[in-house]
Amino acid sequence: MELTWVTYLIVCPLVFLAGLIDSVAGGGGLISLPAYMAAGLPPLQAAGTNKLSACLGTVASTTRFVRDRKVDWKAGLFAALGAFPGSWLGTTLLQHIPEDAVRIMMIAAIPLVALVVLRRGDGMQGVCRVKGRAFDVVSLLIGLVVGFYDGLVGPGTGTFLILLFTMILGMEAVTASGTAKLVNLASNVASLTTLLFAGQVLAGLGIPAAGCAILG
């Protein structure tokens, strides 16, 4: 696809807004992915380029949470171990779905995920429902399932991780957010690598957009 100034004019401001919203409440992918599609990118290329900007933006936010010591490393590392293959599987499946079906799937998912994001309680904290070895297994399964969703669809991944970390693993909201960023980074790297090898990433658009996301 040929990149024009109109493409950047559509994508960059919306990705900046997505980064701003993501840093405050999560769910930035609900804006960034449609932005790429609105600019005329085919669904797979939109997903791949969105992963590039999301991945670089997630590195910045993850670093901030790590510096502030707001990451549960035990849960985060096990969940990341599940998220990496889960995301690879989801992204691999995505490449075998007809383009029109992918477009419909993404468009249909966005309002449903938006509803979950809007209903999320930021101050919530559940009770840890698993102990001992089961904690590690459940953390890995959370990463695997949500990673698969991230590779297949994408928007709302961080919100789903935060909900599961608080409701099942009993994390408080800020630690859940920091741990979700770590897991989301692993998922983004797996999906981005897969789509890079498939030639579905426009670096000339994704890198400037990533700068906008980080600024946001």
pLDDT tens per residue across span 2-27? 788 899 999 999 999 888 777 665 66
Per-residue pLDDT, 29? 79
pTM for this structure? 0.88
Q: What is the pLDDT of residues 135-157, one digit of tens each?
A: 999 999 999 999 999 999 888 88
CA dist 160 and 168 (Å) reads: 12
Residue-averaged pLDDT of the chain: 87
Residue 173 — very low, low, confident or very high, per pLDDT cuts 50/70/90?
A: confident
pLDDT confidence bin for 59, thresholds 50/70/90: confident
State the CB neighbour count (10 A cutoff) for residue 63: 12
The pLDDT of residue 111 is 79
The residue among 197, 203, 184, 134 whose CA lies nearest residue 26 is 184
pLDDT of 123 higher than 60: no
User: Across residues 105-125, what is the average pLDDT?
Assistant: 70
**d(C-alpha 65, C-alpha 127), whole Å:** 22
Alpha-carbon gap, residue 113 to 172, rounded angstroms: 22
> pLDDT digits over 79-104, tens only?
999 999 999 999 999 999 998 888 88
